[in-house]
Amino acid sequence: MSRPADLPREHDVRTAMQQLQVRRTAQRLLHTHLQPAADVHWSGISLDLTGTTFIEVTLTGCHLHTADFTGAIFSSIAEFSGTTFSEGAWFRNAAFSEDARFDKASFSGNAGFSGATFAGVAGLGRASFSRGVDLEAVTVADVSLAHQIPAGWEIQPASGAEGRFVPAGASSPSRS
């Protein structure tokens, strides 16, 4: 019996499922060992997760020295509530496919989100940024969502339902 060429082969499906399991296991290990109360706590760790794809990532309450998520893809909800970044944290050009939650996250060092895109709610307003935060060129897919943005920033409507972060009080671009 022949099968249509566009259907995935059993091997491809099995490989995709195995990759998903490895991803989730790695994420679970990070969450477990970055907790300050963990039996085996990875204290003072710096992570370079540039370009990584995350599936339903939860790093709630974790403590990291530095973390680089530049170009990362966050598929499903990304949960960073209560996470402490003691030095730098970069989410430049990261893509969040659903809500990104940073409630009570603490950024003691540099924090950069420039070029990040949020398809769901951008939940940054309840985070603390000791050295400020770079939100240059951050975009949201839907300005009507209940975004929580840091003080000193606002979302300016762009095209359609989209919007972009701008410093509060910045003038709208002229339209011709």
Edge-to-edge strand ranges of the sheet holding 78-79: 78-79, 100-101, 122-123
β-pair type (66-68, 84-85): unpaired
In this prediction, residue 172 carries a pLDDT of: 60
Question: If you average pLDDT over residues 58-68, what whole number do you get?
Answer: 97
Q: What single-letter DSSP state applies at residue 9?
A: P
> Measuring CA to CA, how many Å separate 102 from each of 8, 21, 85?
37, 25, 11
What single letter denotes the amino acid at residue 4? Answer: P
Q: If you average pLDDT over residues 139-144, what whole number do you get? A: 98
Q: What backbone torsions phi and psi does residue 112 show, to the nearest 5 degrees?
A: -130, 125
pTM of the model: 0.87
User: Dihedral through CA 110, CA 111, CA 115, CA 117, nearest 10?
Assistant: 170
